[in-house]
Amino acid sequence: MTAMSAEERVSLTTTIMQVLDEWGLQSEHIVAVVGLPDKTPKRNIRKFREGASFPDSTVVMEHLEHLVGIITSLRTTYPMNPQMGTHWMRRSNRLFNQRPPLQVMVEDGLKGLVEVRSHLDCTYDWQMDDERSGRL
């Protein structure tokens, strides 16, 4: 992700928190999915909901980049029914060994985010294939 202003970071945090809340993630799961330090207090999660921005760290920004890609892909996949994205995220999926995508993201961290994003966003997956094969 490119450098963002303080206002842009607050806006991004608000949007991400709204989606994570819609998906039903608990505070400890939000910590894992966003890439926050393991010992992040629950009160910090509440502050993110109330207008504080996520830390400007490389790890967090990498996680957020994938979350934005997942959210965008769900919105384009289910443009007429946004609740379907939430349903898809919570439902067991054979491609993830019968684990719901949310579980993959929580348990597998960044690797899980990349897996879910690659499944939803074929253009991202193609880009990754090109990078792995040295075509870029």
pLDDT tens-place string over residues 85-136: 999 999 999 999 999 999 999 999 999 999 999 999 876 655 655 555 565 5
pTM: 0.87
87 closest CA partner among 7, 11, 24 = 24
Residue numbers of the domain that contains 41 = 6-133
On whether residue 109 sits in a domain, the answer given is: yes
On whether residue 52 sits in a domain, the answer given is: yes
Lookup: tokens for 57: 């760290």
Q: At what angle do helices 58-77 and 27-34 cross, to 10 degrees?
A: 100
In the chain, what is the straight-line distance between the N-terminal and C-terminal CA atoms, in Å? 19
On whether residue 1 sits in a domain, the answer given is: no
93 in helix, strand or coil? strand
Structural domain count, the chain: 1
DSSP state letter for 80: T
72 in helix, strand or coil? helix
On whether residue 10 sits in a domain, the answer given is: yes
pLDDT tens-place string over residues 42-60: 899 999 999 999 999 999 9
Asked if 70 and 95 count as a contact pair (C-beta separation under 8 A), the reply is: no
On whether residue 94 sits in a domain, the answer given is: yes
CA angle, 54 then 6 then 30, to 5°: 15
On whether residue 117 sits in a domain, the answer given is: yes
